[in-house]
Structure 1
Amino acid sequence: MKRNFNIHDLRIFYTVVMAGSTRQAAQIMHLTQPAVSHAISRLESATGVQLFDRSYKTLRPTEAGQYLYSEAKFVLDELVRIDEALHSIEQFGGRGLRIAASPALALGYAPDAVRRYLDANGTRPFSIDIESSVQAISAVETMRADFGLGAVHRDSARLRFTPFLRADVVAIVHRDHALAQRETIAVADIPAETYVKPLWSDYVVAQGDIADSLILRSGMRAHMSLLPGTVRAMKGISLVNALSAWDIAAAYPDLVVRPLASRQWFEFLLITRKEAQNQELAERLLDALRAAAQERRTGVYAQAIELAG
């Protein structure tokens, strides 16, 4: 059975569930409460299902309502994406491009690469979203993003995975930490009480000699965006890829970078769809990614960052 319903009513329904009542939804959307109630009634008539259980004092979504709520977010997000793309075409002659970047690359490296891309290829709008490597694959596959930057590869008939660099795992350590004076740091020597473990939000384990890292205990954990400040506050130590370390050391002068005694690394990949029209853009972006990485290959990073391709 074909179900026709109004997008505005769907947006009102989503807001009602999110807010918990028609009164609060009306305030959020600057509508009257009767207008919100009428929209819910229209949506129920259009879908042919009851969306709320009205036997309670508060509105509770039925099973159908819960399902529609979960799907509505994707629909409404997609409408926002379409609207942004149309606006970009109107203003700039082409739709904006989106990158889904893993947290490990988003501190400074990915924005720097995008800046280089724009300097070389014009001012077409470009946005960066932070996603795990697994989510970046999904974002490109479902066309929520044009490109993905991550550390996970999988077999796919629709996607192309192009390795563009390998980054060793290094230590970032506060200058006052006991290990800061060493030329290299053995993972087994890191005190648990001063170790800040990255919450990669990536579900990715480094390659190489990682046995000691897997059993290393930590006094605190922090997301990549909070990791530098946490290490600084604790006068502690953490293990990150060399690209992230470069960005962190540039922003936090009291944190120093030291190689590890054991070799560990991440391989980073550009994720694209196998559509012909994407390939030229992908090559241009690869050039920008490699240029941004090459600039960082000085000092301790000369061996820790290796370009691929």
Structure 2
Amino acid sequence: MNSSDLPDFGLPPTPTTMARPLNFQQIQAFKTVMEAGTTTRAAQILNTTQPSISRRLTELRAATGLELFDLYNGRLRPTREGRKLYESVRRHFEGLEKIETAVHLLRKFGTGVLRIGSTPTLAAGLLPEVMTQFIRQNPEVYVNLQTFGTPQLRDYLSQGLVDFVLTTGHIEDSDVISTPLQQTHAVCVLPLNHLLAKRQTVDLDDLQHHRLVLLDDNDDIMVAMRSLLQRRHGQTGIMIETNSSLTICAMVAAGAGIGVVNPFVAKTFAGQLAVRPLYPEIPVNVSLARSVALAPSMLTQRFIEILTTQA
């Protein structure tokens, strides 16, 4: 710093206590002068004038009661007090820079982690295309996908272990917001060479005459299916009962029988079995469930936007 850069250091000694609070402009000017070396260069960095920088330094000296600079061979140099103050200021600004960086990352990526709970059939049949598009748009985001039945998904949601849940089941909980995404219908899956595969649709009554691989009584599809059969005075001869639609499709593809599943899991076995609409229609509702206690993150909102456009 040369003598023309100097602030007014001809002021009488200031008191040892601050007469007025410091302000950001004074601190910023001091930090920039310390790093730039001269008030002229500091003014260029801060897009202001050299007299303005000198005035801020004078105000800072008066407010702190500290001699922050002295003159040496016509140049301004920091005192020991000035260097100590700069160390504190620098740590403060590093904290602000970390906050700014965090805000930038949150604005761009949300929390950086997206935790999804889903039933296995939706994870296999609905989410792959959605996930691919989401990752393409958010390549630095870490996604954790957990697949369980609806009761366990409800528990994960209530414990805050997932950001949201996708299910074809019902979640009845006052602490959960459930939003319908899509309604479709159950389908009949058959071996490729099965007689019923020649039909455009399969009637529920036709199932009575074939080996069946069906879901257990806890599944919504089976609850609706049994209700329809009772009204139509029909019975079903279940040969294999399971709690997994994926298992049903694998069994049917191997020729063990015919089954009724949601269309999402049937989609994952394309080319391995025949898929036909079932009549009467059995509704399959896809819902997204979130906790009422926590607002959705930016990542959750982005994922839901993609999901709703594809659902």
Q: TM-score range by the shorter chain?
A: 0.5 to 0.7
Q: 1:280 to 1:213 in 2, by over 3 A?
A: farther
Matched, 1:145 2:162: yes
Q: Tell me the residue number matched to 1:230.
A: 251
**C-alpha deviation, 1:288, in angstroms:** 2.2
Q: Tell me the residue number matched to 1:105.
A: 122
Deviations 1:22-57 (A, max 9, x none): xxxxxxxxxxxxxxxxxxxxxxxxxxxxxxxxxxxx
Give unpaired runs (5+ residues) of structure 2.
Answer: 1-105
Deviations 1:266-292 (A, max 9, x none): 211111123564154333222222344
1:136 aligned to which of 147, 153, 178? 153
**Contact 1:188/1:212, CA 8 A, preserved across alignment:** no
Q: Tell me the residue number matched to 2:172.
A: 154
Structure with max Cα Rg: 2
Deviations 1:211-233 (A, max 9, x none): 34574332123422322221011
Alpha-carbon separation, structure 2, partners of 1:268 and 1:206:
16
1:246 aligned to which of 256, 264, 267? 267
Give unpaired runs (5+ residues) of structure 1.
Answer: 1-88, 294-309
Q: Tell me the residue number matched to 1:272.
A: 290
**Contact 2:192/2:273, CA 8 A, preserved across alignment:** yes
1:219 aligned to which of 239, 243, 253? 239
1:265 aligned partner, one-letter code: P
Matched, 1:258 2:276: yes
**C-alpha deviation, 1:169, in angstroms:** 0.6
TM-score, normalised via structure 1 length: 0.56
**Contact 2:114/2:299, CA 8 A, preserved across alignment:** no
Q: Tell me the residue number matched to 1:204.
A: 220
Q: Tell me the residue number matched to 2:142.
A: 125
Alpha-carbon separation, structure 1, partners of 2:114 and 2:280:
39
Matched, 1:286 2:307: no
Q: 1:276 to 1:135 in 2, by over 3 A?
A: closer
**Contact 1:173/1:235, CA 8 A, preserved across alignment:** no
Considering only aligned residues, what root-mean-square deviation do their CA atoms show, in Å?
A: 2.8
1:183 aligned to which of 200, 217, 222? 200
Deviations 1:47-68 (A, max 9, x none): xxxxxxxxxxxxxxxxxxxxxx
Identical-residue share of aligned pairs (%):
23
Q: 1:103 to 1:192 in 2, by over 3 A?
A: farther
Q: 1:276 to 1:219 in 2, by over 3 A?
A: closer
TM-score, normalised via structure 2 length: 0.56
Q: 1:199 to 1:107 in 2, by over 3 A?
A: farther
Q: 1:120 to 1:93 in 2, by over 3 A?
A: closer
What's the secondary structure of 1:122's corresponding residue? coil
What's the secondary structure of 2:246's corresponding residue? coil
Deviations 1:80-116 (A, max 9, x none): xxxxxxxxx9xx9945222111133122322332222
What's the secondary structure of 1:176's corresponding residue? coil
2:250 aligned partner, one-letter code: G
2:199 aligned partner, one-letter code: R
Alpha-carbon separation, structure 1, partners of 2:110 and 2:219:
38
1:185 aligned partner, one-letter code: V
Counterpart mapping for 1:1-12 below 5 A: none
What's the secondary structure of 1:190's corresponding residue? helix
1:272 aligned partner, one-letter code: R
Alpha-carbon separation, structure 2, partners of 1:168 and 1:239:
10
Alpha-carbon separation, structure 1, partners of 2:139 and 2:229:
43
**Contact 1:177/1:235, CA 8 A, preserved across alignment:** no
Matched length: 198
